[in-house]
Copies of this chain bind each other. A is one copy, B any other.
Amino acid sequence: MDEAKDSGLTRIQRRNREIILEGALTVFAVNGFRGTTIDQIAAECGLSKPNVLYYFPSKDEIHKTLLTKLLDMWLAPLENIEPEGEALQEVLDYVAAKLRMSREYPRESRLFAYEILRGAPHLTEILGGRLRNTVDDAVAVLRGWTEAGKLRNVDPHHLIFSIWSMTQHYADFEVQVRAVLGEGHDPFSEAEIFLEDMYRRLLTP
């Protein structure tokens, strides 16, 4: 998909588009879509404003491109759940993977949070389409495990919501988490232990 969109571009074009997306992600993740100006993006990546708009037709387009690229990464762990695997461990692995993504890609998490908060105007088709399908598949797998007695019976949709909300919380609400915890804490490491314990307890039959 990346290659498809970038095909026909020179090396410089590809490179500069990458630089712009990288800088834009940083700024969007802090200020949101409306709070971000092309000036800020240009400053962040060391290009001039018109030059940014030479590589992308508009601020909207930069934002949409970021969201589209983000979603591939975001949904991968859920798509990688292995129906033939050991049920509880598969879920715990998914939780851990999602938490790791929050830690390593907090900008992506915030970009996504901002977009959902404002009603997801740049994601409408995807939410009810690809995202929903992916979740439906995962829900079917979870139901199978439950019926086979490998997992305790809980609502699979809300199980997934709980994983999303708790893992992304540490990226999206980081300011609050750090303010409440004060110094001397590693939020993500503590969360890893807490969440593993929580889901093991919740899902063990």
Contact = CB atoms under 8 A, between A and B. Distances in A.
Interface string A16-48: 000000000000001111110000000000000
Q: How many copies does the complex hold?
A: 2
A57 interface: no
Interface in A153-183: 154-155, 157-162, 164-166, 168-170, 172-173, 175-177, 179-182
Interface residues of A, number: 52
A132 interface: yes
A155 B194 contact: yes
A70 interface: no
Given A166-B165, A194-B155, A176 B33 contact: no
Contacts of A166: 161-162, 165-166
A169 to B, nearest CB: 4
A31 to B, nearest CB: 6
B175 A127 contact: yes
A85 interface: no
